[in-house]
């Protein structure tokens, strides 16, 4: 499997509870490397644009509010099959359905405040990475 990059976001529910390090330890233990990282406050416009694919879903407004409620850590993870590997470490969207060892099973508060985001395909990863990072900010 090829080396890939994926976009990871540590969401406000997790930054608020000071869980950035604990969550990133799980990514690093799985063989993912953090090759870019910054802590930022998302604006409503930015969060709305990032989640535009979910615009028609009933939770869109609430999701945008929750993503702007506190800072997030946006980061690029690199590794063999990074897109799927990251999603394996994250666990299912609903923490009640997530495998016990995963980030969401251990840390998520709810299906919405579920501690992390991860790109769902290499194509979307490229789009999402470019949304937050210049190529010069990614340092393997």
117 catalytically annotated: yes
- Of 121 and 137, nearer to Mg ion (C-beta) is 121
Residue 5, marked binder: no
Q: Which of 37, 64, 67, 117 is catalytic?
A: 117
In angstroms, the CA 32 to CA 26 distance is: 9
The DSSP secondary structure of 69-135, one letter per residue, reads SS-EEEEEEEEETHHHHHHHHH--SSGGGS-TTSHHHHH--SSSS-SEEE-SSHHHHHHHHHHH--G
Interface of this chain with ligand ATP, residues 52 to 81, rule: CB under 6 A: 54, 59, 63
Is residue 53 classed as helix, strand or coil in its secondary structure?
helix
In angstroms, the CA 123 to CA 128 distance is: 9
Interface of this chain with ligand ATP, residues 110 to 129, rule: CB under 6 A: 111-112, 114, 117-118, 120
In angstroms, the CA 57 to CA 5 distance is: 28
Residue 133, marked binder: no
**Least distance in Å: CB of 120 to Mg ion?**
5
- Of 49 and 54, nearer to ligand ATP (C-beta) is 54
Q: What is the CA radius of gyration of the chain?
A: 14
In angstroms, the CA 124 to CA 140 distance is: 20
Compose the 27-46 pattern: x for residues touching Mg ion by CB under 5 A, - for all others. Answer: --------------------
Segment interacting with Mg ion, rule: CB under 5 A, options 36-44, 75-83, 95-103, 115-123: 115-123
Binding site per annotation, positions for ATP: 11, 59, 87, 93, 104, 114
- Residues engaged in binding ligand ATP (CB under 6 A): 54, 59, 63, 93, 111-112, 114, 117-118, 120
Active site residues: 117
């Amino acid at each position: 499997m090829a080396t890939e990059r994926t976009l990871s976001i540590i969401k406000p529910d997790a930054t608020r509870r000071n869980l950035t390090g604990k969550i990133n330890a799980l990514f690093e233990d799985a063989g993912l490397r953090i090759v870019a990282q910054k802590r930022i406050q998302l604006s409503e416009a930015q969060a709305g644009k990032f989640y535009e694919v979910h615009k028609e879903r009933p939770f869109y407004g609430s999701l945008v509010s929750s993503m702007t409620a506190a800072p997030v850590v946006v980061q690029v993870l690199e590794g063999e099959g990074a897109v799927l590997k990251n999603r394996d470490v994250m666990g299912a969207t609903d923490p009640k359905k997530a495998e016990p060892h995963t980030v969401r099973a251990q840390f998520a508060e709810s299906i919405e405040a579920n501690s992390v985001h991860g790109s769902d395909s290499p194509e979307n990863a490229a789009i999402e990475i470019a949304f937050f990072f210049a190529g010069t900010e990614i340092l393997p």
